[in-house]
């Protein structure tokens, strides 16, 4: 069952002015409930414009966005509900923290939803746990925390609204490898517990390979592809041609193929590369 | 080659609150950086790498020990402007270091402050913009540029001062892959064509692999200091402190662990493909 759907979605910036630009061009897309989706596309590809349609921050110039089968713009008064159902975590969300304690900051969204205090508390404890934030941190000022902790607080604020679709725009930008793995791990935990649909925008195919069931690629305002992770990575060559970064390990296997050593499979994670090579080598008699 | 940067027993603590003992961020760093060197500094968040970078052009001053750049001690208050002209710094966030509403004015900002005559300034700004491939954008507003373009403008502003070294503190962390490539290409060219010494703070292992020397920091100390080839061959040690090695290095290491004869110091895709091919060509 599709939770999010777009029908001929088009968005034009500054229509009628000399700066007119089509940022999203006739996109048709169906995202099934419970999926973990990686969103890729280089700067200016239209991916940010696209995701801002999913929770009604932008209104289509033409076409429709359907949530649970219903046009989100059918009744303008209901757009606020859409924002509770589709949570959007912006890039560098730690800059949006403003409350005096971590608890109050995470509580901001759930409180706006009109939940009672007991439910708010339950949700805060739950999401804080998902994101590895210790309980004693909740009464501290968010501004005393480390950069990585602040980012997790900001993400918790959206997760605590328990949106059916959670969209994160580059949640690992600017983090070191350990911080990056930690955040992605926490998001996976949350996904396992809630089964909510999650979209993560990322420039790193290496990261995406580690979590996504499906990958959505935008290029020049159009939907380049939306398909299962393996099928998308099988098009590594085309993807690198549209300016996206292919994992280093994939490029090595592409080179081997050019030189006549074809393993017949597409390789995009370290783990798989290692397994594949060890297997093929042992078939040849091993060490 | 003579040393352009000399760091001797550098210790640094941020001031502590009343009743607290200051936490030491840099615990006795010794480094000599030669003129024209292209050095990367790796380390996870909190390892002290940015604090180290900020010592090189005197934004921070040592709690003890000395930092000398081109013969100028960073603690010499009277020479702070000479120091900053010699060692320019580029920061992580492109939006935080642009001051003007027109690209060429932004590049000219420091030169105006230094009182460089108009003709000379005009030439230096144009040359610097050409060096970073942003000359065509000289009349644009920086607000309309991509992150990678903004970083190149920031670099142009430094180059216009004709520095001997440039320190870049994670200049590509906020950029997309295309922007990262553009910025790395410019940094490499500045090093190769003008012999400018580069100190590049980064989390990206592929960027470090392109440098001539890699220094790895952990908990305020330098734990590895060698060519990228040698540094990344310490796969376990590098991973233990929360960093990665390039995927090609890791693959070679895994195959080696399984008993296959494959070099330990692989850092490029070609070397890796070559080595794997050789394994399959054996009798």
**Which residues on B lie below 8 Å from A251 (Cβ)?**
269
CB count in 10 Å sphere of residue A100? 12
Give the mean pLDDT of A105-130.
95
**Which residues on B lie below 8 Å from A286 (Cβ)?**
259
Summarize pLDDT for B89-132 with one digit per residue, the tens. Answer: 999 888 888 889 999 999 999 899 888 999 999 999 999 999 99
Give the mean pLDDT of A91-115.
93
Report CA A241 to chain centroid distance, whole Å.
22
- Is the per-residue pLDDT at A152 higher than 90? yes
How confident is the model at residue A5, as a pLDDT?
96
How confident is the model at residue B283, as a pLDDT?
62
**Which residues on A lie below 8 Å from B277 (Cβ)?**
256, 259, 261
Q: Tell me what percent of chain B is helix, strand and coil, each rounded to the nearest 5.
A: 45, 20, 35
Give the mean pLDDT of B54-58.
94
Query: What is the rounded average pLDDT for all residues in chain A?
Result: 91
> CB within 8 A of A4, min separation 6: which ones?
A29, A30, A31, A54, A65, A66, A67, A86, A165, A197
Considering only the C-alpha atoms of chain A, give the largest distance between any 2 of them, rounded to a whole number of Å: 69
Overall residue count recorded for chain B in this entry: 283
State the Cα–Cα distance between residues B238 and B224, nearest whole angstrom: 9
| Band of residue B153 on the pLDDT scale cut at 50, 70, 90 | very high
The DSSP call for residue B47 is: S
How confident is the model at residue A247, as a pLDDT?
85
How confident is the model at residue B69, as a pLDDT?
96
How confident is the model at residue B115, as a pLDDT?
87
| Band of residue B231 on the pLDDT scale cut at 50, 70, 90 | very high
- Is the per-residue pLDDT at A170 higher than 80? yes
How confident is the model at residue A44, as a pLDDT?
80
Confirm if A216 and A38 have CB atoms less than 8 A apart: yes
**Which residues on A lie below 8 Å from B258 (Cβ)?**
278, 287
| Band of residue B177 on the pLDDT scale cut at 50, 70, 90 | confident
How confident is the model at residue B175, as a pLDDT?
83
**Residues of chain A whose C-beta is under 8 A from some C-beta in B?**
42-44, 146-148, 173-179, 203, 206, 243-245, 247-249, 251-252, 255-256, 259, 261, 270, 273-274, 277-278, 280-281, 284, 286-287
| Band of residue A146 on the pLDDT scale cut at 50, 70, 90 | confident
Residue B177: closest CA among chain A residues belongs to which residue? A245
Determine whether the interchain pair B242/A256 forms a contact, defined as Cβ–Cβ distance below 8 Å. Answer: no
| Band of residue B228 on the pLDDT scale cut at 50, 70, 90 | very high
Give the mean pLDDT of A101-128.
95
Nearest Cβ partner of A281 from B146, B179, B260? B260
Give the mean pLDDT of A127-146.
91
pTM score, two decimals?
0.82
Nearest Cβ partner of B242 from A147, A178, A243? A178
The pair of three-digit structure tokens given for residue B278, joined into one six-digit string? 């050789």
Query: What is the rounded average pLDDT for all residues in chain B?
Result: 92
**Is residue A25 within a helix (H) or strand (E), and if so which, with residue range?**
strand A21-32
- Is the per-residue pLDDT at B215 higher than 80? yes
Determine whether the interchain pair B251/A249 forms a contact, defined as Cβ–Cβ distance below 8 Å. Answer: yes
**Residues of chain B whose C-beta is under 8 A from some C-beta in A?**
44-46, 92, 146-147, 170, 173-174, 176-179, 203, 206, 242-244, 246-248, 250-251, 254-255, 258-260, 269-270, 272-273, 276-277, 279-280, 282
Summarize pLDDT for A186-225 with one digit per residue, the tens. Answer: 999 999 999 999 999 998 888 888 889 999 999 999 999 9
Strands (E), chain B: 3-13, 24-34, 38-42, 64-69, 72-73, 87-90, 165-169, 197-201, 213-218, 221-226
Task: Tell the burial category of A216 from Cβ atoms under 10 Å away from its Cβ (0-12, 13-18, 19+).
Answer: buried
ipTM comes to: 0.76
């Amino acid at each position: 069952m599709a939770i999010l759907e777009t029908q001929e979605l088009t968005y034009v910036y500054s229509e009628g002015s000399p700066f007119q630009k089509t940022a999203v061009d006739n996109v048709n897309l169906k995202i099934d409930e419970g999926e973990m989706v990686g969103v890729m596309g280089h700067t200016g590809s239209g991916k940010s414009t696209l995701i801002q349609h999913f929770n009604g921050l932008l209104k289509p110039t033409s076409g429709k966005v359907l949530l649970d089968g219903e046009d989100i713009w059918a009744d303008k008064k209901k757009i606020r509900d859409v924002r509770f159902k589709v949570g959007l975590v912006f890039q560098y969300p730690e800059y949006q923290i403003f409350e005096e304690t971590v608890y109050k900051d995470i509580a901001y969204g759930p409180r706006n939803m009109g939940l009672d205090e007991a439910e708010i508390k339950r949700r805060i404890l739950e999401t804080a746990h998902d994101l590895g934030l210790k309980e004693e941190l909740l009464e501290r000022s968010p501004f005393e925390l480390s950069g990585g902790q602040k980012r997790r607080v900001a993400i918790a604020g959206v997760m605590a609204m328990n949106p059916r679709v959670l969209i994160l725009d580059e949640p690992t930008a600017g983090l070191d490898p350990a911080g990056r793995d930690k955040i992605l791990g926490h998001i996976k935990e949350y996904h396992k517990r809630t089964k909510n649909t999650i979209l993560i925008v990322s420039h790193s195919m290496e990261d995406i390979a580690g979590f996504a069931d499906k990958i959505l690629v935008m290029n020049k305002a159009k939907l380049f592809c939306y398909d299962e992770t393996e099928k998308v990575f099988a098009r590594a060559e085309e993807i690198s041609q549209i300016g996206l970064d292919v994992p280093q390990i994939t490029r090595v296997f592409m080179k081997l193929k050019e030189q006549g050593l074809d393993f017949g499979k597409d390789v995009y994670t370290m783990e798989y590369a290692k397994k594949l090579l060890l297997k093929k080598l042992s078939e040849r008699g091993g060490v | 080659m003579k040393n352009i940067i000399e760091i001797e027993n550098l210790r640094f603590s941020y001031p502590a609150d009343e009743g607290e003992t200051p936490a030491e961020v840099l615990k006795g760093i010794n480094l000599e950086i030669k003129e024209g060197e292209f050095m990367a500094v790796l380390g996870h968040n909190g390892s002290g790498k940015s604090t180290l970078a900020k010592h090189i052009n005197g934004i921070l001053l040592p709690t003890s020990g000395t930092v000398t750049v081109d013969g100028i001690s960073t603690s010499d208050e009277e020479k702070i402007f000479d120091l900053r002209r010699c060692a320019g710094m580029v920061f992580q966030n492109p939006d935080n270091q642009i001051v003007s509403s027109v690209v060429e004015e932004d590049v000219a900002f420091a030169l105006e402050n230094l009182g460089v005559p108009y003709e000379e300034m005009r030439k230096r700004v144009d040359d610097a913009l050409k060096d970073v491939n942003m000359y065509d954008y000289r009349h644009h507003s920086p607000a309309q540029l991509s992150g990678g373009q903004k970083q190149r403008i920031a670099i142009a502003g430094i180059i216009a001062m004709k520095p001997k070294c440039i320190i870049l503190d994670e200049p590509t962390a906020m950029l997309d892959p295309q922007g990262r490539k553009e910025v790395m290409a410019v940094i490499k060219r500045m090093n190769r064509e003008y012999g400018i010494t580069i100190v590049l703070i980064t989390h990206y292992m592929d960027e470090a692999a392109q440098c001539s020397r890699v220094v790895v920091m952990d908990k305020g100390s330098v734990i590895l200091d060698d060519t990228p080839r040698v540094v990344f061959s310490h796969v376990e040690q590098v991973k233990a402190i929360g960093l990665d090695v390039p995927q090609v290095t890791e693959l070679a290491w895994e195959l080696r662990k399984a008993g296959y004869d494959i070099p330990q110091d692989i850092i490029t895709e070609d070397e890796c493909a070559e080595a794997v091919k050789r394994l399959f060509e054996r009798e």
